[in-house]
Structure 1
């Protein structure tokens, strides 16, 4: 047993490393008492827009709100269909259902875990209005064919970039864009475990379309064009000033955080590539990887047993995700299934995410990999 407790994410260790900066930023908010829509929110939004190289960033309350606001801004109507992957966190399907839209589920690429562009076209019907591209675990979906298909069928594309902020997508002509800035609207989450994380809930939307940006701002602020004048149906979703202050500090270090995660992932790759019972994650040729998760596939139905054995050795792990969307009770009867979803179902039975974070020591990781290679 390793002498120190190993964690999936070491939030406290990261805080201690940047304590002085973070405390100073939070104290400035407390001193100013502008806890709602304080100046730090606008400052952070501007800095994030600069980092992503996108004209408009609109902060909001959380990543799920961001997805809902995005679909509301597209003015979709009940009964319209939205294509999304069957292997994903439930938020994308949840907001589709909440708005009276129909989730249309397609399978994913077994190597990258992301929606398979080759499966999307067969799912398009006369009611299809949008595609939600979920950039899972730290790397972008293959956006070039997705955007081409969307153009051909006049569909909107919403990017769920909650797990992959900072990833770079390279087009076939050499152009490079940040994940979340390629579709009509991008969304992200600042949940504490995310690559860019605050100390509570938080989220944001990004777009290059001025009309959509105006709608998004209004929707997130009760649909107000100006105070007490409500032009459209909206909601109350805003990023707290304290959280914006924390995020603005962390944004300065995001590239450093990403590089550390990549180094951890490379050490895993090297140590685990010879494990016959594991399939290590694939790095796409068209996207860099920020490794929100390091997710292996465990062969031969051994996943649950392996997780139990790791736990006995003091090594945490997580299953993202144990059920595909079409097997979730709430979505069985409201979703439309397109094609075979066997890959999504198989991944739910085989994926296992190992600890990866910015504070992981080489000794901790060595213990994890030594344990895994012994158990193979």
Structure 2
């Protein structure tokens, strides 16, 4: 059996008529840059997440870059974040000549260890950039408490966290991205809410920040050809907005299916002594964007999976502080031992709403067969 790590074709075939109609409507109207389709999708995202404002941009990376610029994460100022993440979570700071300051991760969740943030704060610190990934949000109660005590800005990297919600010590669940000053989502095709190309979104509850974000995405223009800032060319395509609007109608169903797949994995693999499954901490609603395991002999296992037709991914094989592009920051091997250890053991197995029970069972049996006799 062959099991893809991800495929968009099954979802497309299921809802082909809706997708085709949505795309065709954009082509027929000829409005490809921003326009009604993007405005409608922004409104729908705002309503779903509870954010007051949603601003569509060209990618999740661009969302981080714009938000970092607006929040002042630049010109030598320091921003505290995690080294165990995708490049864009830190490069968005470096793009503006800011300095990412890393702290190690929690060994059970792989998210930033919030108990290590405060020791890194100094007079040059301007913000915290928590990353909600590996199916759960960071401890936003602790992060917001720290930010308020030290007058810091918070940019939530919720690129992988659409649908996640945090309750913590509050009375109601708050959607990822809506707790800090800015939040960002990515609509990369593999995401929980993914398009048929790149796309991103900035959300905020601040009218002032929303106005700036809308200006920055169109070169810094307050109105056409009137520039208040040096901004960017980063606008969500109308075609992507049309596709994403179809998918958003079914997002809760898709999230529930991901949960069902994750339960199959947990039930089948929990008794395998060579594997550990990450824990979800805090009072929150998690979403299984990925299904990660910590696996002994990880590199041997991935070769065995590949030989048996099972797709996989590794998020992430090398922490950012050990990457050549970040060497100028002066970090060295051993500075963040938990992130370094996890990077050698973590493995993501296939999970998406359309994967079948038989395929999940095959993946589990393949994993367990590898460990037989070990």
Instruction: Give the TM interval when normalised to the shorter protein.
Output: over 0.9
Cα distance in 1 for partners of 2:347, 2:44 equals 35
Q: How far does residue 336 in structure 1 lie from its aligned partner after superposition?
A: 6.5
1:274 pairs with 2:271: yes
Aligned residues: 370
Whether the 8 Å CA contact 1:10–1:358 is kept in 2: the answer is no
Q: How far does residue 289 in structure 1 lie from its aligned partner after superposition?
A: 1.9
Aligned position for 1:26? 23
Q: Could you tell me which of 313, 320, 338 is aligned with 2:315?
A: 320
Secondary structure of 2:222's counterpart equals strand
Q: Could you tell me which of 219, 222, 230 is aligned with 2:219?
A: 222
Secondary structure of 2:31's counterpart equals coil
Whether the 8 Å CA contact 2:135–2:290 is kept in 1: the answer is yes
The equivalences for 1:293-372 within 5 A come to 293-299=290-296, 302-334=297-329, 340-372=335-367
1:51 pairs with 2:48: yes
Q: What TM-score do the two structures reach when normalised by structure 1?
A: 0.96
Q: How far does residue 374 in structure 1 lie from its aligned partner after superposition?
A: 2.1
Cα distance in 1 for partners of 2:148, 2:232 equals 30
Secondary structure of 1:134's counterpart equals coil
Q: What TM-score do the two structures reach when normalised by structure 2?
A: 0.97
Secondary structure of 1:104's counterpart equals strand
Q: Could you tell me which of 106, 110, 114 is aligned with 1:113?
A: 110
Cα distance in 1 for partners of 2:69, 2:286 equals 30
Whether the 8 Å CA contact 1:133–1:141 is kept in 2: the answer is yes
Cα distance in 2 for partners of 1:66, 1:342 equals 30
Cα distance in 2 for partners of 1:262, 1:368 equals 17
1:14 pairs with 2:11: yes
Change (3 A) 1:187 1:65: same
Secondary structure of 2:146's counterpart equals helix
Q: How far does residue 304 in structure 1 lie from its aligned partner after superposition?
A: 0.1
Whether the 8 Å CA contact 2:74–2:93 is kept in 1: the answer is no
- Structure 1 runs (4+) deviating above 3 angstroms are none
Whether the 8 Å CA contact 1:105–1:336 is kept in 2: the answer is no
Whether the 8 Å CA contact 1:104–1:336 is kept in 2: the answer is no
Whether the 8 Å CA contact 1:80–1:101 is kept in 2: the answer is yes
Cα distance in 2 for partners of 1:310, 1:9 equals 15
Change (3 A) 1:320 1:77: closer
The equivalences for 1:1-376 within 5 A come to 2=1, 5-299=2-296, 302-334=297-329, 340-376=335-371
Whether the 8 Å CA contact 2:199–2:240 is kept in 1: the answer is yes
Which 5+ residue runs of structure 2 have no aligned equivalent? Answer: none
Which 5+ residue runs of structure 1 have no aligned equivalent? Answer: none
What RMSD, in angstroms, separates the aligned Cα atoms of the two structures? 1.3
Q: How far does residue 76 in structure 1 lie from its aligned partner after superposition?
A: 3.8
